[in-house]
Amino acid sequence: DIQMTQSPSTLSASVGDRVTITCRASHSISSLLAWYQQKPGKAPNLLIFKASRLEIGVPSRFSGSGSGTEFTLTISSLQPDDFATYFCQQYNTHSPSFGGGTKVEIK
Amino acid sequence: EVQLVESGGALVQPGRSLRLSCAASGFSFDDYAMHWVRQVPGKGLEWVSGISWNSGDITYADSVKGRFTISRDSAKNSLYLEMNSLRAEDTALYYCAKDIKGFNGYVFNSWGQGTLVTVSS
Identify the pLDDT of residue B102: 87
Scan residues 24-83 of B and list those with Cβ closer than 8 Å to A: 44-47, 59, 61-62
What whole-number percentage of chain A has pLDDT above 90? 98
Backbone angles phi, psi at B90, to 5 degrees: -85, -5
Residues from chain B that touch A43, judged by Cβ atoms under 8 A, are 95, 111-114
Interchain contact A45–B (C-beta under 8 A): yes
Q: Within 13 Å and on the Cβ side, how many CA atoms surround A39? A: 7
CA A82 to chain centre: 12
Interchain contact B107–A (C-beta under 8 A): yes
Mean pLDDT along residues B43-68: 97
Considering chain A, what is the average pLDDT of its residues?
97
Judged on CB neighbours under 10 Å (0-12, 13-18, 19+), B10 is middle
Cβ neighbours of residue A102 closer than 8 Å, sequence gap 6 or more: A6, A7, A8, A9, A10, A11, A21, A85, A86, A87
Identify the pLDDT of residue A4: 98
Interchain contact A34–B (C-beta under 8 A): yes
Among A39, A89, A102, A103, most B C-beta atoms within 10 A, so best to mutate, is A89
pLDDT at B57 over 90: yes
Identify the pLDDT of residue B103: 87
Cα gap A11→A22, rounded to integer Å: 11
- Write the pLDDT tens digit of every residue in A8-52: 999 999 999 999 999 999 999 999 999 999 999 999 999 999 999
